[in-house]
């Protein structure tokens, strides 16, 4: 990617997959599940660079990524 492309607010699925080091199939699944928002322009799919970079930053800081539950509820059951 060139420096000019790094400042564009939209990136392709392939670019996002490269940034997150995931397959584009995983990202397509996440988009279908609503975990990542997509923008369709013509026949092409784009993602918000800010959302992808935010997901990466949260993961690197040890926080949950986009679409993941942030807390667990107690079931009240004890495991012996």
Q: What is the CATH number of the domain that holds 25?
A: 1.10.1660
- Compute the distance between CA of residue 13 and CA of residue 20 in angstroms, rounded to an integer: 10
Q: Whole domain around residue 49: which residue ranges?
A: 7-60
Proportion of the chain above pLDDT 70, given as a percent: 71
Asked whether residue 68 carries a pLDDT value surpassing 50, the answer given is yes
Quick one: which of 32, 29, 27 has its CA closest to 12? 27
pLDDT of residue 4: 53
Number of domains present in the structure of the chain: 1
Mean pLDDT of 6-34: 94
Asked whether residue 73 carries a pLDDT value surpassing 90, the answer given is no
- Per-residue pLDDT band for 32 (boundaries 50, 70, 90) equals very high
Examine residue 65 and state whether it is found in any structural domain, yes or no.
no
Scan for tokens 């995983």, then name that residue. 26
| Phi, psi angles (nearest 5°) of residue 47 | -125, 155
Q: Are 20 and 27 in contact (CB under 8 A)?
A: yes
Mean pLDDT of 58-77: 60
- Compute the distance between CA of residue 80 and CA of residue 72 in angstroms, rounded to an integer: 19
| pTM given for the model | 0.68
């Amino acid at each position: 990617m060139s420096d000019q492309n790094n400042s564009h607010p939209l990136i392709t699925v392939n670019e996002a997959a490269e940034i997150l080091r995931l397959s584009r199939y995983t990202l397509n699944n996440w988009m279908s599940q609503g975990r990542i928002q997509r923008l369709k322009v013509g026949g092409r799919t784009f993602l918000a660079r800010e959302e992808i970079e935010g997901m990466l930053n949260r993961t690197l800081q040890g926080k949950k990524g986009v679409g993941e539950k942030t807390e667990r509820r107690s079931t009240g059951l004890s495991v012996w």
